[in-house]
Every structure is written in structure tokens, then in C-alpha cells.
């Protein structure tokens, strides 16, 4: 196991009717900016509950944060924060709203000319020494943004990750009932995103992280048990509660501490979202099976461990067990209603050059836990994903 720091200060407030407690969670004298997306929280009454929960505090609303949040939209919120002397941000929504809010929190204290530099330069993001404190109310279980210090923002034609220890939410309210109104496809996206977050921290090489491995395997098994069920029975509380907690625990630093990680599925997936508008969770279900096929030698030990411990595959030689593990994983995504081939999204093979060029432009030339996924290997992965 590698050396590591594990730091996670987010207070999780989990369960039914916990929005009632907002009054105790947000500082009493705060002037609050409530940020949300395209309107689902208005339509389904969550925003009203949040505003009521904030009591007599001064509150300003900022709606219209789009899925895959846009830099230019978020900068409008930064202007409001500065002009109105906002001192607490409350994100009400899914990953896009939470990530967007984290960006606003940092950009409000950015002293350079162009806050987009936070997205380009880790050093510049790390040099910011103050951020507006924030909390979240989660309406879509998927990204884990509610308990981590990262975000992904769309800027010009790309998607850029950023992080800072200043943007861990102070608290996150996880009320599974607020997610009942999600359309099937968004629940499926959330299951797939969570599943792949676990695999990006697991399917690398063996590193004696026995707790991390078994916790990861537990999350994967839970998702296989409940994935389809929670799509079919959206108001079954316990099933949905398990999805919500899995999503949070998959990307809050716990299972990735002290072990190698491989974020290639995400990095290639981000290009597919930026170029073709494919939902984040779906891009992962398209790319992961092909990565495993191409990188089967490098990932052999862990794919075989997953095959045995998660899927119960014990018969056959190594290659046939790996083939079966890839097939079963693809079938799992498809059981959620997610198509797993690029061609099924209308993307044709002649676009592969453009995708590889975008990876090149964004510096994604040596991906995976060892840096072995060069642009040429990414090309093979994309060909295999058609």
C-alpha cells in the first residue's frame, strides 16, 4: 500500500425529511446564494423546501446551471457573489450544480484576470487561499461531488477538472426521497457513473490494498443488486438509499487511498460528452469495456479478482474469464438501459480522428495507472468501442 493522506471534512446529513434541519446547518447570519439547474428543483418542490428551511436569512437564487456546467454561466454567479457580498453558497441539484457551485466558490476569490486559469493550472487553483463556504442538497446520486473536493467544468470546447481542499462541502443533505422524480435514464447514468468510479480506483494492478479492494467489491456488488431494482421501483426507499450512499462512498477518497488509480475511462469519456453531448454516465459504459479488452494484460490480476469476487466467475483460462467479465459488465450496463457502443449514439468511425486530436489537445497522451495509454492506444480503444 502506498503512503497517503485521507482528509474529508464534509458533514453528511442522510435520510428522510432532513431538509428541515437546514436552519442548523447554514450559519445563522449568512447571506446565501442558492444555485440550481434547469428547473427540476422548482418543478418538484425541492427549492421551496430549501428556501423555507433557510428561515429568515437573506437569500438570492441563481438558476440555469446546465448539465456539464458552462464556465460563462458560472461567471454570472461569481458576479452576484461579489456584488451582493454573498457569504454562503447552497447547491441544490446533481453533479453539475454541485461542481458549478464549487467553481463559483473558488472563482469568487481568484485574483488573476481570467478565472478559467483555475481549470488549466493545478498550481493556480492551489494558490487560491480562500473560497466561499458551501453546502449541497443532492437530487441525483452519481458523481460523489457531495463529499469530495473536485469538479468538472465545460470551457470552450472541452471539459476540465479542478480541485481544491477549500471546496469540500461543509455539509451535504442526502435525502433519497428527493431523487424519486429522476427520469429512468438519469438513475441509470448514476448507477453507471458510481460503478465506474469504483472501477477506476480498483481495476489497476494489485497493491495490497485489501480493505480498499473489499470495500470496492462491496459497492460493486450492491450496485449489481440494486441497479435495475431502483430504476424499476423509484420510490422504494431502501433501494434508493443504498444507491445514494454507494454514490457518495465511491468517490470520497476512501477506496482510492493508498492504491493506484486509472481515470482513463473518464478522460476519454469527457471528450465524448464535449463533442457529441453524450451523458457522462453513458460515455463511461461505452469506453470501459473496450479499455479492459485492450489493456487486459496490464489489468489482468485485478480483472480476474473482480471476475471471481464480484461476478463469481471461476471456470476457464485467464483469457476466457477476462472475456466473460467484460461481457457481464457490458450486460450490466445494458440491463440499466444504457447502450454501450458508440455507433448506437450516431457516432461514426470517421470521427475517431477528431476524438484523438481532442485528447492530444487536452494533454491526455499517457493515460492509465502506468501511463501506457498513448494516443495510439486510445485510438484502438475508440475503435473497439464502435
Q: Give contact residues for ligand NZQ (rule: CB under 6 A).
A: 37-41, 44, 67-68, 93-97, 99, 139-140, 142-145, 148, 150-152, 178-179, 181-182, 186, 189, 193, 251, 266, 280-281
Write out the H or E segment, with its range, that includes residue 241. helix 237-250
Residue 179 interacts, among Zn ion, ligand NZQ, none and using kind-specific CB cut-offs from 5 to 8 Å, with ligand NZQ
- Which residue number, 94 or 176, has a Cβ lying nearer to Zn ion? 94
Tell me how far, at minimum, the Cβ of 232 lies from ligand NZQ, in Å. 17
Give the rounded distance of the alpha carbon of 346 from its chain centre. Answer: 24
- Determine, following the binding rule CB under 5 A, whether residue 279 of this chain makes contact with Zn ion: no
> Closer CB to ligand NZQ, residue 5 or residue 113?
5
Q: Does 146 participate in binding Zn ion (rule CB under 5 A)? A: no
Which DSSP string corresponds to 50-113? HHHHTTTSEEEEE--PPSS-BHHHHHHHHHHHHHTT--EEEEEESHHHHHHHHHHHHHTT--SS
Asked whether position 217 contacts Zn ion by CB under 5 A, the answer is no
Q: Residue 231 binds what, of Zn ion, ligand NZQ, none (CB under 5 to 8 Å, by partner type)?
A: none
Closest separation in Å from C-beta 219 to ligand NZQ: 15
Q: 26 and 172 in contact (C-beta within 8 Å)?
A: no
**Are 366 and 373 contacting, i.e. CB atoms less than 8 angstroms apart?**
yes
Is the Cα torsion angle 187, 192, 197, 198 positive or negative in sign? positive
How far is C-alpha 260 from the geometric centre of its chain's CA atoms?
18
Q: Which does 260 bind (CB under 5 to 8 A by kind): Zn ion, ligand NZQ, none?
A: none
Least gap, CB of 150 to ligand NZQ (angstroms): 4
On whether the CB atoms of residues 92 and 35 are closer than 8 A, the answer is yes
Sign of the CA dihedral running 237, 239, 245, 251: negative
Site for Zn ion contains 99 (CB under 5 A):
no
Binding residue count for Zn ion, defined by CB under 5 A: 1
* Residues 178-197 contacting Zn ion, CB under 5 A: 193
To ligand NZQ, the closest distance from the beta carbon of 315 in angstroms equals: 34
Distance CA 309, CA 306 (A): 5
Amino acid at each position: 500500500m502506498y503512503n497517503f493522506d485521507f482528509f474529508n471534512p464534509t458533514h453528511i446529513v442522510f435520510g428522510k425529511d432532513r431538509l428541515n434541519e437546514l436552519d442548523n446547518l447554514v450559519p445563522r447570519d449568512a447571506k446565501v446564494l442558492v444555485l440550481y439547474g434547469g428547473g427540476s428543483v422548482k418543478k418538484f418542490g425541492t427549492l421551496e423546501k430549501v428556501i423555507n428551511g433557510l428561515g429568515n436569512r437573506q437569500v438570492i437564487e441563481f438558476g440555469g446551471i446546465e448539465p456539464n456546467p458552462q464556465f460563462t454561466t458560472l461567471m454570472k454567479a461569481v458576479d452576484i457573489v461579489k456584488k451582493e457580498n454573498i457569504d454562503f453558497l447552497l447547491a441544490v441539484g446533481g453533479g453539475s450544480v454541485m461542481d458549478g457551485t464549487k467553481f463559483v466558490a473558488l472563482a469568487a476569490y481568484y485574483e488573476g484576470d481570467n478565472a478559467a486559469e483555475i481549470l488549466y493550472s493545478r498550481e493556480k487553483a492551489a494558490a487560491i487561499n480562500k473560497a466561499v463556504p458551501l453546502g449541497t442538497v443532492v437530487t441525483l446520486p452519481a458523481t460523489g461531488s457531495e463529499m469530495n473536493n473536485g469538479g468538472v467544468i465545460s470551457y470552450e470546447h472541452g471539459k476540465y477538472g479542478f480541485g481544491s481542499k477549500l471546496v469540500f462541502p461543509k455539509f451535504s443533505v442526502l435525502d433519497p426521497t428527493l431523487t424519486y422524480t429522476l427520469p429512468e435514464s438519469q438513475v441509470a447514468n448514476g448507477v453507471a457513473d458510481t460503478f465506474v468510479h469504483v472501477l477506476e480506483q480498483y481495476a489497476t494492478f494489485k497493491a495490497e490494498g485489501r480493505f480498499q479492494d473489499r470495500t470496492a467489491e462491496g459497492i460493486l456488488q450492491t450496485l449489481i443488486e440494486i441497479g435495475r431494482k431502483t430504476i424499476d421501483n423509484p420510490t422504494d426507499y431502501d433501494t434508493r438509499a443504498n444507491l445514494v450512499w454507494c454514490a457518495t462512498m465511491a468517490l470520497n477518497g476512501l477506496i482510492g487511498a493508498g492504491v493506484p488509480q486509472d481515470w482513463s475511462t473518464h478522460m476519454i469519456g469527457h471528450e465524448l460528452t464535449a463533442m457529441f453531448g453524450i451523458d457522462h454516465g453513458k460515455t463511461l459504459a461505452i469506453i470501459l469495456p473496450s479499455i479492459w479488452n485492450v489493456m487486459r494484460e496490464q489489468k489482468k490480476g485485478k480483472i480476474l479478482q473482480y471476475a471471481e469476487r464480484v461476478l463469481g466467475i471461476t471456470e476457464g483460462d485467464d483469457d476466457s474469464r477476462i472475456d466473460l467479465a467484460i461481457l457481464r459488465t457490458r450486460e450490466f450496463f445494458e440491463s440499466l438501459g444504457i447502450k454501450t457502443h458508440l455507433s448506437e449514439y450516431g457516432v461514426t468511425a470517421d470521427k475517431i480522428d477528431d476524438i484523438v486530436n481532442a485528447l492530444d489537445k487536452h494533454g491526455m497522451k499517457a493515460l492509465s495507472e502506468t501511463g501506457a495509454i498513448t494516443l495510439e492506444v486510445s485510438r484502438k480503444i475508440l475503435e473497439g468501442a464502435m
